[in-house]
Amino acid sequence: MLSLKTLLYTLLTASSVIANPVPARDPSSIQFVHEENKKRYYDYDNGALGEPIRGVNIGGWLVLEPYITPSLFETFRTNDNNDDGIPVDEYHYCQYLGKDLAKSRLQSHWSTFYQEQDFANIASQGFNLVRIPIGYWAFETLDNDPYVSGLQEAYLDQAIGWARNSSLKVWVDLHGAAGSQNGFDNSGLRDSYEFLEDSNLAVTTKALNYILEKYSAEEYLDTVIGIELINEPLGPVLDMDKMKNNYLAPAYDYLRNTIKSDQIVIIHDAFQQFNYWDDFMTETDGYWGVTIDHHHYQVFNSSQLESSMDEHIKVACQWGTGVLDEAHWTVCGEFAAALTDCTKWLNSVGFGARYDGSWVNGDETSTYIGSCANNDDITSWSEQRKENTRRYVEAQLDAFEMRGGWIIWCYKTETSLEWDVQRLMYNGLFPQPLTDRQYPNQCNTTSS
């Protein structure tokens, strides 16, 4: 059985079109809450910011991911030989601890992992936006959910205030749906794909509508310039027509015709091919303010990991050219500097890494490509690896700035080097300033 991550990059599905699009107002007739919002819908290169989005994800904070904060999960370890007993996601973390103890530990994490100084640092480093993931369970829960609920909202509000104080813009990202939209640990619940079951859809929709109503109000529009309806729905295994008709379209209708807000709507591409969304919610059909969010990585199957550096660069540049004729404004909402999958638990608890041949998921295994030893110790990196990482980062930035811009995953981790922008910058592997190039014009020669 193929792993989920492999499935993302190998399965293709036929396009499906929304059957009954909701009525949408003509954007030329709209009275914008903020006059500058007009620019978001007609400047497809730079949006509201007057420049490409250059952002970072606030990952592993309000939605746990074991590889970002392994210390929270290591406390469950019972032996050094395997990961048996370690919770694989936030759902099981809370279930194992019980709500009272989980609440105590999570509040300590939420209060310390990000501080206002982090947001000030992000701004001083040249970034202009933060994307903040949050789960549905922060607002609504199913009857049998073990999640801690009702507390994350205050931290999100505080973070939006920190962003405002540092002149950063914000995307609020609904990162986890009831029943899980993708089966990944980053949805809150691994190995489940029940997002579109009616009871789960109702709870997720209720949470989303609350987010839309609150963070599209005038008091937030100066800072929150987009709301992502759901992160990374796994299109190849979901009913795309149902997701469009029963979730995405009603959310747009609620925002435009009930709340009457001019907030940007962000739709993740659901791991579909470029141009898949060109016939869904376009301005030609009377929809407006819709952005497609593409996520790009090259570490979640063995063939990608085995690629040469020139092949990695070529793929990165094609990510840029691939969106140039898409019907919507587009942004790359996630990508990384990583060229291996060596970071512990990157592939989720218990699975190992493909790069060093330790990957095991059911009957699926991997073959050795290279060592993961001391992967997070920069002193163990060769000069060639450092140069390749910087080169890869720069190619991606150039590619994504061909259109709307980029938001790297993620700003900080506890231990990882490849997935931690702060560490990458400190070690000269990420440009400072962001427009600095040691390897200029890579996409001019490799993107054909």
- 329 bridge partner residues: 291
pLDDT in tens, the chain (448 residues): 334 444 443 443 333 334 444 445 555 555 555 556 555 544 544 555 678 999 999 999 999 999 999 999 999 999 999 999 999 999 999 999 999 999 999 999 999 999 999 999 999 999 999 999 999 999 999 999 999 999 999 999 999 999 999 999 999 999 999 999 999 999 999 999 999 999 999 999 999 999 999 999 999 999 999 999 999 999 999 999 999 999 999 999 999 999 999 999 999 999 999 999 999 999 999 999 999 999 999 999 999 999 999 999 999 999 999 999 999 999 999 999 999 999 999 999 999 999 999 999 888 888 999 999 999 999 999 999 999 999 999 999 999 999 999 999 999 999 999 999 999 999 999 999 999 999 999 998 544 3
> Does residue 232 have an active-site annotation?
yes
* 123 Cβ contact list (under 8 Å, min separation 6): 166, 167, 168
* 249 Cβ contact list (under 8 Å, min separation 6): 18, 20, 21, 22, 281
Give the three-class secondary structure for 430: coil
Residue 386, CA distances (Å) to 189, 314, 407, 430 in order: 35, 19, 21, 10
Instruction: Specify the pTM.
Output: 0.92
Q: What is the DSSP letter of 23?
A: P
Tell me if 159 sits within 8 A of 132, measured CB to CB.
Answer: yes
- One of 326, 334, 401, 418 is an active-site residue; which one? 334
Alpha carbon distance 116, 446 (integer Å): 40
- Tokens 């729905």 belong to 233
- One of 65, 140, 228, 232 is an active-site residue; which one? 232
Give the chain's count of helices (H) and strands (E).
16, 10
- Tokens 């962000």 belong to 266
User: Phi and psi at residue 361, in whole multiples of 5°?
Assistant: -145, 100
Closest CA to 244 of 222, 221, 277: 277
Neighbouring C-beta atoms of residue 103, cutoff 10 Å: 16
Q: What is the DSSP letter of 248?
A: I
In the chain, the domains with their CATH numbers are: 4-11+43-446 (3.20.20.80)
- Return the axis-axis angle of helices 99-112 and 152-165, rounded to nearest 10°: 0
Q: Using the CB atoms, write b or e for 131-168: b if 16+ within 10 Å.
A: bbbbbbbbbbbbeebbbbbeebbebbeebbebbbebeb
> Does residue 326 have an active-site annotation?
no
| Tokens coding 346 | 């990157």
Give the three-class secondary structure for 160: helix
Neighbouring C-beta atoms of residue 265, cutoff 10 Å: 23
H helix intervals, 75-217: 90-97, 99-112, 116-124, 152-165, 198-215
73: left (phi over 0), alpha (psi -120 to 50) or beta: alpha
Closest CA to 73 of 414, 340, 376, 416: 414
Strands 364-365 and 360-361: antiparallel
